[in-house]
Amino acid sequence: MDQVRIITLTTDFGTRDGYVGVMKGVILRINPQVQLVDLTHEIAPQDIWEAAFVLAASYRYFPPGTVHLVVVDPGVGGERKPIVVEAGDWLFVGPDNGVFGLVYRQERAHRVVEIANPRFLLPELSHTFHGRDLFAPVAGHLSLGVDIAQFGPELKGYQQIDFPEPRVGGKRIEAEIIHVDRFGNLITNLSLEFLGKLEGRVLKIVAGDWMISGLSRSYAEVKPGELLAIFDSSDLLEIAENLGNAKKRLGLDRGDTIEVIIGS
């Protein structure tokens, strides 16, 4: 064995039904040596954005050659195409429905291929569980080093995803909450990079009925129970409560907006 290959799994299957286990079984029949890593199976059912977000925050921390398998697939059995993507140093397998849209924003997609070669699929393809019959076997074969050109023809037009950019009006930036994590931290679409192109620094932030003065560098910088604004580990502006839950405190959720006021 010259190299251990890794497959990560991201689904909306939950962990109650054995669906994820079945996919792993299929993969292990093909490559019993593979390292399997769950990114998450708690994506809300059919929530493509959430899957795209979690994947985009995670993929690059894995070794080059890692296969990222994503099965959030509301259109299973319909028109959407199953694809393999080679982008940056990694491989991606899943439905062409936007789940890789945020990866395309961050990495050059060298090749995108439509999965069409039946040789790499289970012999009987169901209409309801392509995770098992199609995506898992393809991921297994990729992890053995099969070249992506083997799976089917190259695809030129593939599905993007809308990233809501912050709206700037003078000294006010309207930022949107694009993810709420387990701690109730509110993660927005305002990146450090975006802010760096504007003149001025963050003076204050209006979130729900609350006002936050300036930025913190760590949660521990404010007292327990106090709100803070911070650029998080993905360099996105996040509203948090130290040792608390900003979502509950502010009554805000994904899709809501906050206001960032900049100045000198």
Binding residues (CB under 8 A) for its own copies: these are: 3-4, 6, 8, 10, 12-22, 24-26, 28-29, 32-33, 35-43, 45-46, 54-55, 57-58, 61-63, 66, 74-79, 126-129, 132-133, 179, 181-183, 217-221, 230, 232-233, 238, 243, 245
CA 109 to CA 57: how far, in whole Å?
A: 17
Distance CA 163, CA 83 (A): 21
Please report how close the Cβ of residue 17 comes to its own copies at its closest, in angstroms.
Answer: 5
- Give residue for tokens 């439905």: 95
In the complex with its own copies, which residue's Cβ is closer, 59 or 158? 59
Q: How far is CA 215 from the centre of its chain?
A: 26
Q: How far is the CB of 8 from its own copies (least distance, A)?
A: 6
Task: Indicate the residue among 29 and 110 with the shorter CB distance to its own copies.
Answer: 29
**Which residues have CB under 8 Å from 162's CB, separation 6+?**
101
Least gap, CB of 124 to its own copies (angstroms): 10
* 202 in Cβ contact with 213 (< 8 Å): no
Query: CA angle at residue 92 from 91 to 97, to 5 degrees?
Result: 155
Cβ proximity to its own copies: between 86 and 238 the closer is 238
Distance CA 135, CA 102 (A): 20
C-beta of 43 vs 260, nearer to its own copies? 43
- As measured in angstroms, the least distance from the Cβ of 180 to its own copies is 9
